[in-house]
Amino acid sequence: MKKVLFISSLLLLSVTTFAQKKKTPKKGNSKATVAVDSTNLLNLNPLKPNQTQAEDYIVASLLPKDLSSNKNGQKQYYDSYKISLKAGEEMILEHQSSDFRVMLGLKSPNKSVNTEFSYDANPFGGNSFNKFHFTAPSTGVYTLLATSMDAGQTGKYSIRKTIYAPNALESKVDASLSKNFKALLNAKKNKFKDILGEKIKVARKEKAMDKATGQDKYNAKAELISGKAGIIVLENEGQSASYKSVLIESESEEEVKTQFQQLVKQFQILTRSWLEQPSTDLSYSTSTDQDMVSLNISSTEDKKKKKKLYQLNFSLN
């Protein structure tokens, strides 16, 4: 996913792009394909009092008779939808198509605010997916523009819109994990200097390796999970810094995988506005222009017990 702001028309895009994870979205209720410009179909289920979330799902098509704008001499078709939001509500839009690269534009009811665009910047390979997170700064009726990244494209697409009450998403995350993660993000701004502990003494062989790679390792004065110590790795004489921690170590691979899956769900909420990279059963990562979070499962040998141990590793770079 890439988000950008524009003052000018819908289709004047000349920005550096970042790849968005592609995946098939969850199946919603089957609905007939929508024709042309169906402005109210994503506004049928606004958030009601005492609700924590509300959802709308549509399947529609870009057609030659739709609204259009000019991009490099070609028509770029789009549909327009009204979405009512209250200040503080969070909205997640999942846009998918098997016919073209997807792009969304969100226009604020405040005309002085730039239109915000979010799109799939990967080369089209038969399926395009983009997730767009937005927190409403003010109450009003927003306008969503659903279009293609490339001019002249038509075809079917789907949009799932989920609105969450203020703080409803954050409440699903373990409070201690949320607090500790935000503290680490804040410490990273100063290259973890505020939580830098004693330098770790290492064996001669490892010391030579660290010297060759320009690394110095220190104990950290902060933990992501209580009781799970972390270390800070400084590279190139402190020009770059990362926080690392082994969150779980077990002889049971299934136990570690279960914990991995649970933590991934937590981090998907904590970093919901970040760019999630393609993940596997053993690894997960998400990033911004400044930060990257990684979770991965590795294995090691306990030489004394002659047993294989599985580890769940966390890093913040």
Residues 24-49: tens digit of each pLDDT: 333 334 344 444 455 899 999 999 99
Residue pair 2/18 in contact (Cβ under 8 Å)? The answer is: yes
Q: Does domain 2-164 have CATH number 2.60.120.380?
A: yes
Instruction: Write out the chain's pLDDT in tens, 317 residues.
Output: 555 544 334 443 333 333 343 333 333 343 444 444 558 999 999 999 999 999 999 999 999 988 888 888 889 999 999 999 999 999 999 999 999 999 999 999 999 999 999 999 888 999 999 999 999 999 999 999 999 999 999 999 999 999 999 999 999 999 999 999 999 999 999 999 999 999 998 766 565 555 656 789 999 999 999 999 999 999 877 789 999 999 999 999 999 999 999 999 999 999 998 988 888 999 999 999 899 999 999 999 877 777 899 999 999 99
24-47 exposure pattern, b = at least 16 Cβ within 10 A, e = fewer: ebeeeeeeeebeeeeeebbbeeeb
Query: From CA 140, how far away is CA 304, in angstroms rounded?
Result: 64
| Residues pairing with 161 in the sheet | 56, 93
Cβ(198)–Cβ(219) under 8 Å? yes
The predicted model scores a pTM of 0.74
4: enclosing H helix or E strand: strand 2-6
Query: Rg (Cα) of the chain, in Å, rounded?
Result: 23
Tokens of 76: 């770029």
pLDDT recorded at residue 3: 54
User: In 3D, which of 243, 228, 249, 236 has the Cα closest to residue 300?
Assistant: 249
Q: What are the residue boundaries of the structural domains of the chain, listed by start? A: 2-164, 173-316
Dump strand ranges (E) for 90-239.
90-97, 102-107, 115-119, 128-135, 140-148, 155-164, 196-199, 215-220, 230-235
Beta carbons of 241 and 254 less than 8 angstroms apart: no
Per-residue model confidence (pLDDT) at position 8: 38
